[in-house]
Every structure is written in C-alpha cells, then in structure tokens.
Amino acid sequence: MKTRFFSCLKTLINTGGQSAASNSTKLLLICAISGTGGVAAYADSNSSAAPKKKQRVLVLGTGWAATSFLKDLDISTYDVQVVSPRNYFAFTPLLPSVTCGTVEARSVVEPVRNIVKKRNGEIKFWEAECLKIDHVNRKVFCRSNIDEDLPGDNSFSLNFDYLVIAVGAEVNTFNTQGVKEHCHFLKEVEDAQSIRRAVIDRFEKAVLPELTEEERKMILHFVIVGGGPTGIEFAAELHDFVHEDLVKIYPSVKDLVSITVIQSGDHILNTFDERISTFAEKKFKRDGIEVLTGHRVMGVTDRKLHMKAKATGEEISIPHGMIVWSTGVGTRPVIKEFMEQIGQGNRRVLAIDEWCRVRGLENIYAIGDCSTLCQKKIMEDITDIFREADTDNSGTLSMEEFEDVIEDVIIQYPQIELYLKSKMLNVSDLLKSMYNGKEEVDIDKFKLALSVVDEQTKSLPATAQVAAQQGAYLSNCFNRMEQCKKNPEGPRKFQSGGGRHEFRPFRYRHLGQFAPLGGEQAAAELPGDWVSMGRSTQWLWYSIYASKQVSWRTRLLVISDWCKRYIFGRDSSRI
Amino acid sequence: MKTRFFSCLKTLINTGGQSAASNSTKLLLICAISGTGGVAAYADSNSSAAPKKKQRVLVLGTGWAATSFLKDLDISTYDVQVVSPRNYFAFTPLLPSVTCGTVEARSVVEPVRNIVKKRNGEIKFWEAECLKIDHVNRKVFCRSNIDEDLPGDNSFSLNFDYLVIAVGAEVNTFNTQGVKEHCHFLKEVEDAQSIRRAVIDRFEKAVLPELTEEERKMILHFVIVGGGPTGIEFAAELHDFVHEDLVKIYPSVKDLVSITVIQSGDHILNTFDERISTFAEKKFKRDGIEVLTGHRVMGVTDRKLHMKAKATGEEISIPHGMIVWSTGVGTRPVIKEFMEQIGQGNRRVLAIDEWCRVRGLENIYAIGDCSTLCQKKIMEDITDIFREADTDNSGTLSMEEFEDVIEDVIIQYPQIELYLKSKMLNVSDLLKSMYNGKEEVDIDKFKLALSVVDEQTKSLPATAQVAAQQGAYLSNCFNRMEQCKKNPEGPRKFQSGGGRHEFRPFRYRHLGQFAPLGGEQAAAELPGDWVSMGRSTQWLWYSIYASKQVSWRTRLLVISDWCKRYIFGRDSSRI
C-alpha cells in the first residue's frame, strides 16, 4: 500500500513540474495518508467555462481492478455508473481461509457503496450482470438476477462515454468432462462458503452408521486439482482444519482422512522460486498430503477421478469424496461475445494496449483478469523509432540522437529494461556495445543491438496485484484526462503523426507473492528476489494481509477472526 | 443460569440428605461454577457389580430442549445417541438480530459435539432426520440429507432403551394459501440468513433504472404477519437496519420504504402485560411502522396479500415486496405420524405427563415445542386422594390426615399453588376455610374446597425457556435414575398401588420475557410481575442474553458483534 502511495506521489510531483512549466494550471495536491492508500485530488482553477455535461464512465465489475479504479477516481468530474452481480468487493486472497472458517466470509467483503460513499459526489451502482456490450452505439445491456417475482423488468440498458471492463474471469475447466457437475471451484465468496459446508458434510456423512470402512475412506478423500497458490493454500488450510479441529470432534474417523493435490506440471507452485516449490513439497510430504505432479485430469464422475500420468501415459482412476478445481482462468461469455464483435475472437482474453485500452477501440478500457496487456515488440516498430530518432535524416544515428530518444523508447518498451537487468547492464553499457567506438550506427546495427530484447517480453499474471495496479493507474489517467490532453506527459509517439502520448504507459511493479503452507508456515517471494520461508514469513503474511484490507472494518474483522481461531479453533457448524 | 444452578444445587442437597439417611450410598458432589452452568457428577461407590450393559438413550433434536438435556446428562452411565438434521445448537432468541446483521449467524450457533465433547464419555451424533418412530420395537428410522452423490446408504435405523423426543415444531401456516410459496419464515438460522439476503435484494432491485415509483414502493413494502415477540422484534430490527444503515447507502429510495405488521388479535405482544403492548404500539407508531390489528390473512400471492378485517368483515388486498410469516407453531410430520400411532391423532402436539413422559408410553419422553404438558385435574383424582389421605378409613379427614398429604398434593397439582397465589392465600388459610372450626371434613366438603382450583391450570407456552427447563429437569432425572428407583423422591402416588413416584414432577419457573423494540429500547416482564421498559431494559437484555450463551465462544462473538454494529453499522453485502 505504501509503495503504491509513494509511486502515486512521485507521479504527482512529476506532473506538478510540467504544470508549473506550462504556467496555465494551478495544482492543488491533497495527500491523505490512510490505511486505504493515498487520495489525490486536483482542481484546475483556470477552467472557468460554463458547467458542461459530465462524461459518463461505466464500470463493469466490483473486483480488484474495478474497486481499485473506483476508489481513487475523482467522481466529481464524471458521472459514474457501476454494474456488477455482486454489490461488494471481496478480498479474494483470503478465500482459501474462508473455506475452512479461519476467516469468516463476511470479514473479507466490503459493500461497494461503502467504499465510494465517503467520496465527493455519488456513483450509481446497479446489482446486475452485463450481458452484451455494444461498442458502436456505446451501450451495454444488463440483467439483474434478483428475485423474478418482484415487480418491474429486470433488464435495462445503459449508455456510456467511457467503458471500463473489469468483469474478471471464470474458472477454466479446459472442457474436462464432469468438472462443472462434480467439482467445487474457489473463485467467489459463495464458492468458499459451499466448500466449507461440503467439508463438514463429508465428516458428518463419514460417521454415519452402516457404512463400510472403504466408503468412509472414499468420502474423506479430498482432492485438489491445480498446484497453484490457491489450490496449495486450500490444501494447507484443509489439512490444518482437519488436524487441528475436526479430528477432535470426529475422533472415530480421524485416520481415514486423506488429501491429494494433482498438478499437471512437474512441481507445485511453479510460478514461484524453485526453493519455495521444494520447501512446499517437502512440507506437504511431512504433513501427509499426497502431491501427484505430472498428472493430467481426463474426467470426473460423482465417485471417481480419471487421470493420466504425462510421462508414462498410464491412466489411473481414484475414488474421491470431494474435488476442488483450481486451475487457470477462463473467459466470461460476455467477453467472449465482445471479442468476436471486435475481431479478437481467436483470443483467450481481451487484448489491451499499454494504456489499458482495448486494442483498436477508443474510450473502451479493460483491466484485471479479463484482459491481457499485449506488449508491443520493439522489432515491429524499429524502423519508425529509427526514423524518428534520426532527426537530421542522415540514415545513421549519432550518439546524441540516440540519447535523445532512448528514454521514450524505454518507457514504451519495458522489455529493454528487463533485458538490461537480466544481463546486469545499464543504458550506457548498451550504448557502448552498440557504438563500439564508432560515431554513428546504421539501422542494421541498431536492429541487431535491440533484436534480443523482445525475448524478455512477459505477459502479466492474472493476479489481484496486477488488477489493483491497473485500476489505480487508470483512475489516475481519468483524473488528469483534461490536463494531460493539453499537456501530454507520455513518451514520444514513434508512429503516425508524432507528438506525445497523453499518459505514460502502465507499468507493472511486482511486489512479491505469498504461499501460506499451513501449520503457521508460509513461503514468500519478496521484492529484490528475496525468498523467505517459515514461521516468521507467516507473521509477515498476517501483517501484510491485514494492512492491505480495503476498510478498517474488514481489517478489524480479519484480525479478530485470526485471534478467535487461536482461542476457540474453527467452527464446525454446518451453516 | 445462576437460578438454575442454585435450584440444581438445592435438589442435590436434598438428595444428599436422603442418601445419608439410607446410608447405602456415598455422594460425591463436584460443583464447577462457570458461564455454562453447574456440572454435577455422582458416583455411587457401593455399586460394585460387574459392568453391565449401558442403557441406550436416543435423543432426537439439537434445539433448546435436547441441548439442555445433553449438557447436564451424565454420559458415563448411558450410551447416548443424538439424531438431528442440524449438527449445531442455535440460540434462537437472537435470530431476529441475525436477519439484519446486528449479530452474525455463526455467532449464535455452537456445534453439538463441542457442547458435549468436554464431558466424560462420548456421545454419538448423527446428522440426519428421524422419519419414523417405532415405539413397539424401540427403534427409529432416520435419513441423512447429506449429498446424495456420496457413497453409502443415507438411511439407517437405531435402537433405543429410552427415547427423548425434542424435535421442536415447524411453522404453522394455518393452511393459508400461498404462504409456503411466497413467505419467509423465521425459525431456523438459514431462514434468518435468507431474510437478510432478501432485504438487501429488495433495496438493490428498488434502485434499478426503468422502474416506476409505484413499483419501487411496492418492492420496499415489508410485511410481517404475526404480532408475537419474534415478529415484533424482527419489525423493530428491520426498522433500525433501514433507518440506521440502508438509507445512507440507498439515499434515492429512503422515502419509499414502509413496514407493516399484521396481527389477528386486538393488540401486538398479547402474551405480555398490557402496559408493554401499549408501549410497543406507541413506539411503532412514532417510528412509522404500521400496525394492523384485528386482521386475518386470507391468502398470499407473489405480489399481493389478502386479508379480512375481523370486526367489519371487509376484505383488503395490499401489495408487498416481502412477507415474513411468524405465527404460532405447527407439528412436524414425524410427530404427526407418531401421534396417530399412539392414539393421540386428534391432538396438535404430543401430550406428556408431569414427568415429561409421553402419555401412555414407558421410556419415551418428549420435551420442548413438540410436546405439551397435560396437567392432571385435581377433580379427576379427588376420590383417590381422599381415600389415600383417610388413613383410618373413617370416611372423613382430620386436620392431621390432611396435613399429612397436602404437600404431596401440592407437588402434583401446581394449580393449587397458583390458585392460592391468585387469592393471596397460603395453605393454612385453605385449611382454615375448609375446616371452618370443625374437626373433620367429608369428601363433599373436600371436593368443594378444591373445585375452583383446576381453573388455574395453565398450559405452558412454546418457548425456549420451557424447553430448556424441561431438558435440564429430564437430565437430572436420568442422572439419578438408579438411585431414585431405590429411594423414590417424588410425591405419594394416590392412584394404583400406592408408594411414591420416583421423581418430583416437572415444575416450570417463569423467569420473565423480553421484547426488544428497536432504537435501543426494550420492554420486559420480570419475575415478580415487574414490568420494565426503555433504554435501561435494552441494556438488561444485552447482559442477560450475553450471559445465557451456551459457550464462551458464542458469548464473545455476540458481544463483539454488538460492538461492531455500534462502530461500523450493519454490513449490506449480499452474501
């Protein structure tokens, strides 16, 4: 949170410098340091024109991206409408904790209206699902899912000037047979609640009379498909729930419980550092959680799970009592339909540019899991860059000419920085190697020097961190829209027409990631390639997750839930 | 709690006296004063016989009666089995608070296994519904409602030596058309949760675009049918929720909300003192809650509620957005079927005797809302009493003879005490008026003196208080079963065979009742015919309800929920 606040502050100070230079605007900077981040409000005192009609901003969604966008948006300058089937924001990284009652469902949610009501002006929120986006007529069609018996039509349409799509993703079953019918997912708060009930149900069922031991074992076999952070954290939570709480109240079946994690890759937590994967695998082995790596699930029935060992091709069927499916993200129908409309039908998620705009469209933005930032390759634009840099049209670049554009190039093509970092170089090293003692370089030499850079292009992961940073970035752009139209602050445009981009492109800053592994142990990748594992990391996790809460209410609730668990254990009532 | 503890202590001390007199048993008394009441354990050190097979006690239900029975039962001497579709005990008096999020659902429930696991020995709990009681073969047939997909049969049967029926009651719709389809009830925790969601839904729906004002008004018209404590408390909670929390986040519809209470009697809260009814009606009028007394609901559709004014016969239809139906208690199917089996088919609830035994059956007990204590009329037994009292067979009773039986008579016929209390008399006054200076009375005089007494017979209300006292009474009997078989401690048997009853009959002690009326005001009837109303009563309510919690966990949770509400208000997330 702090980091975001400081980066925000930095941007503001930069902007402040430009404003002072242009001498036409005054900057009013209000910084409120609070748990929920910094709030920055601008007022352009020179724009004394008659009150013009506010532009309509329509936001689809109330997840990380949308909430982060709304939280900092200056709603006094826009007419803001929000449509989402959920009237609350959920702190999704705590969902695995909700599945076992370590944290209560209500402690991780905050009504959207609460998040925005303290702000200047008013947003309109509608609890409904967006069914269709009509980008030509700037209209969306929505349908509320509330009780059909109530009077009034549930369908309505809304017009917009700007559309921010932040509907998130749905579970990806990879079309595996039986998954939708027989598996639990873990994307929504309701999913976590139903998993909790289902776990208790399995224990209640297993202790019923007139069952064979084999049936009891089968009922108490919990399978997790997917070895990513969510699946692993759920497995760890479940293990703790069973061994810290349930065995005490269901002592007759405590030796029949088993937990299995199935992962198609070679290691669990494979987006983490290798040391963390190894640590997690060892800990799970000690805990008696079976980890089956290199297995692909082929199908699921009510009683069995069929899978194939990738190495040997051997097909195996195992009985199960419950499966939690936690693999990858899939596309929501409304996004699929929209992608077909705009010629992105062959993609998996919406392609956006570096300014979070849906590629090829004006005024339509997409952030969070429903979008993916398609980083432009430098080699595609290399001729344009060269031409733009070659101010004297000599056909070659002098070192001065190169130095003049390199900053703008680096801003637009972050892969350069990643490449330099990976080689432990800096820009002057790049210059040196390119010029190699000469005064000028031609286009071939220029291409050659940068040709390796594009390999470093990385797509961003579908995480809360990316979504939140995109939302904050976009609200910052919206808040300074008018100002930046007058005084563009982005890098030089190398193609079409020249000039500058209005804004600096979005740049993701990875702040690290956590993997709680149960038994008060966690693993973490921290900024600066640090890796931390063990009990102290769990305490770091507690403090960071508490500080990241969206409101003081949820912060207090989450902390009191943790204390409650320490004192009384987890509740096993089936509600 | 304290009162119960002391009365328990008193009984123990009495018993102790008897044991000492009989000189064959030693009494070990362990008293642990805790929030959950006193625990008393006995050990008869002389019973050194070979370990005989434990008697099987089967308990149906986990409500007030069953939990109160289980909590104090000495499970080391019985083989205890419990069957209930809910694996938790719910503190039902707080359900109205759960409907609006003043208290969380999980804060008012405690797993049954937790309640009994701290005790010596083990109970077996099965999450299933009892479908049929076969009293001849001492067997019940059960069916678990857990996920049908899981392996193993969901049906099973259980044998018992003693059966304690405590399944409670279901909602009574009086066969009113449309109630089951279109009304919410408020008997279970799930009901309270679904009401909470429905209230939020109404507000989300009412703010959607493209609705007429009339439609919005209709959606926000909340109707409560039934002016008893539950209905009234819900109306008050809803009013507070709307006016303290929801109007702030749905400001555009705040003037369209209306709440109506429909009561068939002439006053709401008509089981309370008249001053309380009047106070409640005045407060509701001030708050803008409409109270329609003397109206009978004839039918309900998805949009309208039809009713009839009892006085004028006029039929009225009103539009509604949501109805909560809270009138009386009805019989569960398993009880209905059982009553037909045992010749009680024409009754509404199971008839039990003063020892909580189902009338006419051995070893089958019924407590709580599924039963009603049928107090024997003294006039039915008057000849037997007279004969038993007339030890010299003179055909008349001397004062000594009368004094010799009067205590046993009073124990068995509590209406005598009620009668004396209503006339502000005591037993010697009764004696005086009966003998009126003479030495002996004949049977006619005896009958005449007691003939007015039976009018005072009262049936017990279907409340948590009665159920809890019955449960505690019955566990006390079970704990001393063997001992009391040897040394009966009950009153003299006047009919068949003579001797003494094993136990003293159950006697209900009314400890008062509360009616929270919203806005931090409550009304209460306290012991000794005290009536208390206003803000201080609400604080009394808080402290008594906190102290009555079944565990320290729920006590802490409920108190922290109250604090949370003060600080942050109620949560309006739709989960």
**A291 within 8 A of A225, measured Cβ to Cβ:** no
Query: What is the rounded distance in angstroms from the CA atom of residue A148 to the CA atom of residue B457?
Result: 50
**pTM given for the model:** 0.85
* Record: contact B575-A189, CB cut-off 8 A: yes
**B95 within 8 A of B200, measured Cβ to Cβ:** no
- Residue B242's nearest CA partner among B514, B522, B518 is B518
Q: Does A556 touch chain B (CB under 8 A)?
A: yes
Q: How far is CA B429 from CA B396, B411, B417, B435, B449, in A?
A: 20, 18, 12, 10, 11
* Record: contact B204-A87, CB cut-off 8 A: yes
Least confident of A410-419, B215-224, B230-239, B463-472: A410-419
Three-state DSSP class for residue A404: helix
Determine the distance from the C-alpha atom of residue A27 to the mean position of all C-alpha atoms in its chain, rounded to a whole number: 32
Q: How far is CA A495 from CA A386, A390, B40, in A?
A: 11, 14, 88
Contacts of A124 in chain B (CB under 8 A): 207
User: Mutation test of the interface with chain A: which of B56, B573, B574, choosing the one with the most A Cβ atoms within 10 A?
Assistant: B573
Whole-number pLDDT of residue A455? 84
B378 pLDDT above the threshold of 60: yes
DSSP character string of B499-537 = SB-SSPPP------EEEEEETTEEEEEETTTEEEEEHHH
Out of A182, A204, A249, closest to residue B117 by CB: A249
Out of A86, A205, A552, closest to residue B150 by CB: A205
B495 pLDDT above the threshold of 80: no
Q: Does A194 touch chain B (CB under 8 A)?
A: no
Task: Give CATH for domain A2-85+128-169+331-374+461-486.
Answer: 3.50.50.100
Query: What is the rounded distance in angstroms from the CA atom of residue B393 to the CA atom of residue B401?
Result: 11
Domain ranges, ordered by start, for chain A: 2-85+128-169+331-374+461-486, 179-330+511-568, 378-456
Query: What single DSSP character describes residue B255?
Result: G
**A169 within 8 A of A330, measured Cβ to Cβ:** yes
Three-state DSSP class for residue B333: helix
Query: What is the rounded distance in angstroms from the CA atom of residue A63 to the CA atom of residue A61?
Result: 6
Whole-number pLDDT of residue A38? 35
Out of B109, B144, B560, closest to residue A560 by CB: B560
Size of interface A-B (CB pairs under 8 A): 181
Whole-number pLDDT of residue A87? 92
Confidence label for B31 from pLDDT (cuts 50, 70 and 90): very low
- Judged by CB atoms within 8 Å, which residues 234-253 of A form the interface with B? 248-251
Q: How far is CA A33 from CA A5, A39, A107, A480, A556, in A?
A: 8, 8, 23, 21, 18
Do the first three CATH levels of B179-330+511-568 and B378-456 match, i.e. the same topology?
no
Out of B190, B209, B560, closest to residue A575 by CB: B190
Which helix (H) or strand (E) segment holds residue B397: the answer is: strand B396-398
Phi, psi torsion values for B168, nearest 5 degrees: 75, -165
**A266 within 8 A of A237, measured Cβ to Cβ:** no
Q: Does B188 touch chain A (CB under 8 A)?
A: no
Whole-number pLDDT of residue B30? 32
Distance from A553 to chain B by nearest Cα, in Å? 7
Provide the β-strand partners of residue A177: A299
Whole-number pLDDT of residue B119? 60
Out of A88, A110, A208, closest to residue B156 by CB: A208
Residue corresponding to tokens 């009073």: B410
* Record: contact A571-B106, CB cut-off 8 A: yes
Distance from B105 to chain A by nearest Cα, in Å? 8
Out of A146, A201, A215, closest to residue B151 by CB: A215
pLDDT digits (tens, 9 = 90+) for B388-403: 888 888 888 888 888 8
Angle, vertex CA B215, rays to CA B212 and CA B220, nearest 5: 130
Give exposure, A415-448, as e/b (b: 16+ Cβ within 10 Å): bbbebbeeeeeeeeebbeebbeeeeebebebbbe
Out of B144, B158, B303, closest to residue A205 by CB: B144
Confidence label for B21 from pLDDT (cuts 50, 70 and 90): very low
Q: Does A147 touch chain B (CB under 8 A)?
A: yes
Residue corresponding to tokens 């339509």: A364
Sheet holding A162-165, edge to edge: A124-127, A78-84, A55-60, A162-165, A364-366
User: Mutation test of the interface with chain A: which of B195, B205, B241, choosing the one with the most A Cβ atoms within 10 A?
Assistant: B205
* Record: contact A149-B571, CB cut-off 8 A: no
**What is the average pLDDT across B231-257?**
93
**What is the average pLDDT across B278-286?**
95
Q: Does A110 touch chain B (CB under 8 A)?
A: yes
Chain B residue with Cα closest to A554 = B568
Whole-number pLDDT of residue A119? 60
ipTM of predicted complex: 0.84
* Record: contact B126-A211, CB cut-off 8 A: no
Please state which of the four CATH numbers 1.10.238.10, 3.50.30.20, 3.20.80.10, 3.40.50.80 is assigned to the domain occupying B378-456: 1.10.238.10
pLDDT digits (tens, 9 = 90+) for B122-178: 778 999 999 999 999 999 999 998 887 888 888 999 999 999 999 999 999 999 999
Contacts of B219 in chain A (CB under 8 A): 150-152
Chain B residue with Cα closest to A217 = B151
- Residue B326's nearest CA partner among B502, B523, B99 is B99
Q: Is domain A179-330+511-568 annotated with CATH 1.10.357.10? A: no
Confidence label for B101 from pLDDT (cuts 50, 70 and 90): very high
Query: What is the rounded distance in angstroms from the CA atom of residue A321 to the CA atom of residue A124?
Result: 44
Q: CB neighbours of A103 closer than 8 A, spacing ≥ 6?
A: A94, A97, A558, A561, A562
DSSP character string of B207-253 = TSSS--HHHHHHHTEEEEE--SHHHHHHHHHHHHIIIIIIHHH-GGG
pLDDT averages per 10-residue partition of chain A, 575 residues: 38 37 35 35 44 87 95 88 94 95 93 75 86 95 88 91 96 93 95 95 92 94 95 96 91 94 94 93 96 96 94 95 92 95 91 93 94 89 86 85 87 88 84 81 85 84 94 96 90 81 92 92 88 93 92 92 90 85
Query: What is the rounded distance in angstroms from the CA atom of residue B162 to the CA atom of residue B75?
Result: 13
Query: What is the rounded distance in angstroms from the CA atom of residue B431 to the CA atom of residue B404?
Result: 12
